[in-house]
Structure 1
Amino acid sequence: MENLKYAGFWWRFLAYMLDAIIIGVIQWIIVIPVLALIGFSAASTASNGMNETEAIGMVGAIVGTAMINYLALIVLMWLYFAIMESSKFQGTVGKIAIGLVVTDMEGNRISFARATGRYFGKILSSLIFMIGYILAGFTQKKQALHDMLAGTLVWKK
């Protein structure tokens, strides 16, 4: 692959920080209205004098909403990473901004299925003090654990 070299840990970290900002903004666009609705509902119920059963129900609604928000975030991040990395751009907005591309071991664009495997492989990379990510700084092809599992490479243009 001409004019490309393997992207190491710090390039990947920078791209992830840019992506985290984007995902955070999108999440807040979704979350703030939901939290506002819960807050208005709780305030109106509290002003009417809640009994114990209503208070328990309100706590349940808040916990349920938090769980739905967390699940929505996982789905949002999965789709963002998998769609972008398997697209013609071969990377997320953060990767594109700093000139990184994700490929298979032969330098070809990856499939949505491979990008999905790569995304969920990041769970393993996160375990035990992020050692799976740190591997990108020490392996010959600058692969993190999730890259090894998915058979992918990240290149710097």
Structure 2
Amino acid sequence: MQGPVYAGFWLRFVAYIIDAIVVNIAAYILGFIVGLAIGFGGGRDAQAMQLVMGILGIVLAWLYFALQESSAASATLGKRALGLRVLCSDGARLSFGRATGRFFAKIISGIILMIGYIMAAFTDRKRALHDMIADTVVIKG
């Protein structure tokens, strides 16, 4: 019996580009709405608006990735489009907590020249640093 087929770096990269487009469109719409609300309220504090938008952007991205990767589909829209799924290394579905940990571990993957992401091209199960931290794998199918 053959084991899972792990998703390589380039498939994961394309899935991420799709997800980034979706998240950025949602963030733009949210920013427009919040900007209007703040503008109609007097909108005198630009720094406060930047802080609010920064926090909302992080929360939006976190919920987008964590909710979808812990769902029954085990994948974001970008991963679904390419037939990929994120699972625990034992094959189980991710909990919301593990998906949250995986999301925030991506910060560590990107800290030093994105080396944590590039690792997915060279590890045996094609895992990036954040996959190792969260004990997850990305598979085809």
Q: TM-score, normalised by structure 2?
A: 0.92
Q: Which residue does 2:67 correspond to in 1?
A: 83
Aligned-pair RMSD on alpha carbons? 1.7
Larger Rg, first or second structure (1 or 2): 1
Structure 2 Cα separation of the partners of residues 147 and 63 of structure 1:
35
Q: Does 1:144 align with 2:128?
A: yes
- Give the partner amino acid of 2:33: P
Q: Which residue does 2:15 correspond to in 1?
A: 15
Which of 108, 116, 126 in structure 2 is aligned with 1:132? 116
Q: How does 1:1-157 map to 2 (within 5 A)?
A: 4-37=4-37, 41=42, 58=44, 61-157=45-141
Structure 2 Cα separation of the partners of residues 152 and 133 of structure 1:
14
The percent of aligned pairs where both chains have the same amino acid is: 49
The answer as to whether partners of 1:6 and 1:154 remain within 8 angstroms in 2 is yes
CA offsets 1:21-59 (integer angstroms, 9 cap, x no match): 1111111111113334555646xxxxxxxxxxxxxxx3x
Structure 2 Cα separation of the partners of residues 108 and 73 of structure 1:
29
Q: TM-score, normalised by structure 1?
A: 0.83
Unmatched 5+ stretches in structure 2: none
- Give the partner amino acid of 2:5: K
The answer as to whether partners of 1:121 and 1:146 remain within 8 angstroms in 2 is yes
* Number of residue-to-residue matches in the alignment: 140
Structure 2 Cα separation of the partners of residues 131 and 74 of structure 1:
22
Structure 1 Cα separation of the partners of residues 2 and 138 of structure 2:
14
Going by fraction, where is helix more abundant, 1 or 2?
Answer: 1
The answer as to whether partners of 1:7 and 1:100 remain within 8 angstroms in 2 is yes
1:152: Cα distance to partner? Answer: 0.2
